[in-house]
Amino acid sequence: MSSSISSSEPVRSPWGGFALTLVGVAVALLVAILAFAYAVDPYDTGRSSLFEKVGVRPQGPRTAAASRGRDEAYNAAIFGNSHIQLLSPERLKQSTGLDFVQLSVPASGPKEQLVLIDWFLRHRDKAPEAIVISADEEWCTLDPTMANKKPFPFWLFSANPLDYARNLLRYDILEEVPRRLGYVFGDEERARPDGYWNYEPEYRNLGYATDPTLRQRLEKRPESDSQVLDQDPMAGQRHFPAADSLKALAGSLPARTRLVVVFPPNYKNYLTLPRTARGYQDQACKAALRSALGDRPRTALIDWRVDRPENRDPDLYFDLTHYRLPIAHLVEADIAGALKQMP
């Protein structure tokens, strides 16, 4: 008598079980890493209080701004890039009585700066006393996306917690988590809370104040200034998206918040000439930004991007758009004066 054994069930390979186990372990490990990174909160965003310690270790302003921007010790803030970075929160406090934080990020444009303004506003229990915005040439872009030219961690300031959590899975976070723990439990110094950075020593060390080759760059105008145009070839065709964003911001600010927009200084050879492509563009941009402010109360616009004695002095500039402390002090004085004049 013979018998045969048959089965409809497939024979499972031991490799299949191993692969499933491996995937399961990998997923569990990723979830654990993500949960731990979220709990550590490496850039002090306030999303977790498990390893909480005020401030962050010394680091670049792109990431340090998450901690500084939510620090309610400050009731006023400065936004922009290196063209406004030299303004001192301490000196402004002496002249205005307001506690300023510097949230400027070098090589940033309006897109990044508006994100930082939103972060600052979202983390205030009380309406801020003042906001200062540097509207440099980057604010004159015609690009509707206002695309950032340098990398920026938009996810770090996102209002969407899932967006933030998803972006914690990156290599630089794995590097920053132990650094954060070292700062929390160690004796590492805290990054300057008010965000001020005096870039003069760095510029001097690079020779911008003494190197003849670098100094000669101050006397060269952009090539686009060489052609004189009888009329604006784009009259009525320009649209400045940053002006739209400024209008929306001005309309949404609390009534008590004073708003100061600054057109930061340029050296004379970078100031636009009339009847040139740059001249027409700058004129139209300034008009659009002024219009965006409308008749909002407690608002001022300060224009340093004009011909004036200080902007003709090469000893007050490192390059065409980066001025030195004497001009920074004058800009601070103008801001303080504008704030004091607001009811």
pLDDT given for residue 13 in this prediction: 66
Q: Is the pLDDT of residue 188 over 80?
A: yes
Q: Lowest mean pLDDT: which of 28-32, 169-173, 202-206, 257-261? A: 28-32
Q: pLDDT digits over 226-241, tens only? A: 888 989 989 989 999 9
Alpha-carbon distance of 90 to 200, in angstroms, equals: 17
Phi-psi group of 71: left, alpha or beta (phi > 0 → left; psi -120 to 50 → alpha; rest → beta): beta
pLDDT given for residue 202 in this prediction: 94
Q: Is the pLDDT of residue 1 over 60?
A: no
Q: Is the pLDDT of residue 110 over 90?
A: yes
Residue 190 — pLDDT band, cuts 50, 70, 90? very high
Q: Is the pLDDT of residue 2 over 60?
A: no
Q: Lowest mean pLDDT: which of 10-14, 179-183, 250-254? A: 10-14
Check: CB of residue 327 under 8 Å from CB of residue 83.
no
Residue 21 — pLDDT band, cuts 50, 70, 90? low
Check: CB of residue 264 under 8 Å from CB of residue 304.
yes
The mean pLDDT value of the chain amounts to 93
Q: What are phi and psi of 257, to 5 degrees?
A: -75, 120
Q: Which amino acid is at 68?
A: R
The full DSSP string for 209-272 is: TT-HHHHHGGG---GGGS---SS-TTTTT---HHHHHHHHHHHHS-TT-EEEEEE----TTTSP
pLDDT given for residue 335 in this prediction: 98
Instruction: Locate 250 and state its tokens.
Output: 């001005």
Q: Whole-model pTM above 0.75?
A: yes
pLDDT given for residue 343 in this prediction: 78
Q: Which residue has the higher pLDDT, 208 or 224?
A: 208
Q: Is the pLDDT of residue 25 over 70?
A: no
Q: pLDDT digits over 98-108, tens only? A: 999 999 999 99
pLDDT given for residue 8 in this prediction: 57
Q: Is the pLDDT of residue 18 over 70?
A: no
Q: Is the pLDDT of residue 24 over 90?
A: no
